[in-house]
Amino acid sequence: MATLSLLIALLSIGTVWSQTGKGTVPQIIEKNGRHALLVDGKPFLILGGQAHNSSAWPGMMPQVWTAIEAMHANTLEVPIYWEQIEPQQGKFDFSLVDTLLKQGREHKVHLVLLWFATWKNGSSHYMPEWMKREPSKYPNITGKNGQSVDSPSPHIIAAMEADAKAFKAVMAYLEKADQQHTVLMVQVQNEPGAWGSVRDYSAEAQKLFEGQVPEKLLKPEILKALNKPADAKGTWTEVFGKDADEYFHAWSVASYIGYVAAAGKAVNQLPLYVNAALRDPITNPSANTYESGGPTDNVIPIWKAAAPAIDLLAPDIYLSGSEKVIKVIELYSRLDNALFVPEIGSSEENTRYFYAVLTSGGIGFSPFGIDDNGQGETASETKARLASIAQEYAMAAPMMRELAKWSFEGKIKSVVEREDHAAQTIDLGSWQATVTFGAARRSAVQANAKPISKAMVVQLGEDEFLLIGTLCHFTFKPLGANAGKVWQYLKVEEGQYENGTFKLLRIRNGDETDWGGPRIGAVPVVLRTTLVVR
């Protein structure tokens, strides 16, 4: 019954969503506080991989595709460079974009384009030569002691206009050249902000800093979200006290990028996002210890107010330790922000966060630096390096649309193995699952040396679940009215969704479900499992 009702629900939702039609612009929608990226009118999950910074050149792309294929990815995140696109002021060259579009289509892989422009990791190294040669027209910021800082000033109208003009040209080009929407989203800049100074202390910036905080930022809900009195007004220091320098820089950078983004949005409605070099999400560190001015978790409300043309702010996850990573995932999945992880290290430990992203309604996941970057790796070495994420994407790819829909509907719960390797529970209404981590052995769990396991439960019905994971073991107990009753597996079916239908590989029973419930080994499997109380 549960399966039938699921099918009916799928069909009816499909009808509503498909009204937007094939070929419509991808868009991000929100419902009940959860988000989906609609592609061809239906939720889509980005199984992504990001190329190295200098790999979007035609001679480098074969290695990128080797990596994408090895990963079973459906989306490539790849930079496009302002310096290459506008080598002379006002003269645009879209040949690299053309190559990416053509090759993406040949490989049946979507693209997320990364606009490396005014900011790339806090510096302006991708500004075209004609700008680099005029430092006084396009200056960097000045540090507190008057020192020059390798980071562009967000207060320079000429630079902002030049970036907006180039970005608009890119977006207008895509509007014409990509009517089939190979490109799903565009990242505007890359990790903007400044390293080495919390803000710009140039005379011009100082004048603005001593002026009044703009009205747009003085909304009670924004001030409250920033832990300031709801009726505060005055200068940056008066309103924001010790946070004034950072908040001023965040406002300035976000306003500049918001302007660039709006110029692009005016000609092409593709979703736009900005990625963040993170700060420690737990310790509230001082602003001079991380990249200041970018969309770090503490200034998300400032970015939302300053840059409404940006659809989402995305965390680049290079933190270690599950407590911090899970906290970041929580902080960037908000009512006003769809979660998307455009960069994360490609280690086996990091693969487990793919599950956590699905639980938080995330629209995609994308390890950074997938190609061999000119190291001369063989295809099988690339495959071995990417094996951990590859096996997850291989599992997820045939059921990508279902996973995206379940994630949007909040039906996916997951746990990732923590550093203490302790068992964890998942509440599922009438049932509670307990997940233990480690190699799947018949009589005893052999602990993992590193925390690499993860487990996901998709709630299909009251008693019907999909169990997915690696190196883990599930057991259940009934809750509520059935608490304490004897129960058993009605059926444990191992298989895979294909074209919206579950295809059975085998029914697990006997040794494969006795000895305390189904165990999953090093390769992820999908177990459609129904429980019954006796």
**Binding region for ligand DGJ (CB under 6 A):** 53, 121, 190-191, 316, 343, 368
CB of 76 to ligand DGJ, least distance (A): 14
How near is the Cβ of 53 to ligand DGJ at its closest, in Å? 5
- Quote the least distance from Cβ 304 to ligand DGJ, whole Å: 21
Complex with ligand DGJ: residue 50 or 153, whichever CB lies closer: 50
Least separation in angstroms between residue 50's CB and ligand DGJ is 8
Contact 346, 386 (CB under 8 A): yes
- CB nearer to ligand DGJ: give 190 or 529: 190
Q: How far is the CB of 345 from ligand DGJ (least distance, A)?
A: 8
Element holding 264 (H helix, E strand): helix 244-265
List, in sequence order, every residue forming a beta bridge with 498; answer none if it has no partner.
501
Of all helices (H) and strands (E), which one includes residue 359? helix 353-359
For 168-193, the DSSP string reads: HHHHHHHHHHTTT--EEEEEEEES-S
Q: Which is nearer to ligand DGJ, 316 or 494 (CB)?
A: 316
463: closest CA among 412, 513, 533, 530? 530
Question: Closest-CB residue for ligand DGJ?
Answer: 191
Q: Tell which residue, 321, 271, 316, 270, has the closest CA to residue 294.
A: 316
**Residue 260 Cβ vs ligand DGJ, minimum distance, rounded to whole Å:** 17
Residue 14 or 369 with smaller CB distance to ligand DGJ? 369
Nearer residue to ligand DGJ within complex by CB, 200 or 343: 343
Between the alpha carbon of residue 323 and those of residues 136, 274, 299, 317, 335, the distances in Å are: 45, 24, 21, 13, 22
User: Which CB, 251 or 368, lies closer to ligand DGJ?
Assistant: 368
Nearest approach in angstroms of CB 116 to ligand DGJ is 8
Instruction: List CB contacts of 260: < 8 A, sequence separation 6 or more.
Output: 117, 118, 160, 163, 164, 167, 188, 189
Residue 374's region, left for phi above 0, alpha for psi from -120 to 50, else beta, is left
Residue among 414, 374, 377, 376 at smallest CA distance from 392: 414
| Closest distance of CB 295 from ligand DGJ, Å | 13
Query: Which residue reads 């979660």 in tokens?
Result: 339
Nearest to ligand DGJ of 122, 143 (CB atom): 122
Between CA 14 and CA 8 the distance in angstroms is 10
The nearest distance, CB 279 to ligand DGJ, in angstroms, is 14
Q: How many CB atoms lie within 10 A of CB 99?
A: 14
- In the numeric block, the tokens 């040396």 are attached to 449
Provide, rounded to whole angstroms, the least separation between the CB of residue 69 and ligand DGJ.
Answer: 22
Type of residue numbered 294? G
Question: Which letter, b or e, does each residue of 303-313 get, where b requires 16 or more Cβ atoms within 10 Å of its Cβ?
Answer: bbbbbebbbbb
> Measured from the CB of residue 273, what is the shortest distance to ligand DGJ in angstroms?
13
Q: What span, in angstroms and rounded, lies between the C-alpha atoms of 491 and 88?
A: 66
Q: Within the chain, what is the greatest distance between any pair of CA atoms?
A: 79
How far apart (Å, rounded) are the C-alpha atoms in residues 137 and 157? Answer: 10
Rounded to whole angstroms, the Cα distance separating 224 from 480 reads 39
Rounded least distance, CB 291 to ligand DGJ, Å: 10
Q: Which tokens hold the place of 363?
A: 């629209």
Cβ distance to ligand DGJ smaller for residue 226 or 277: 277
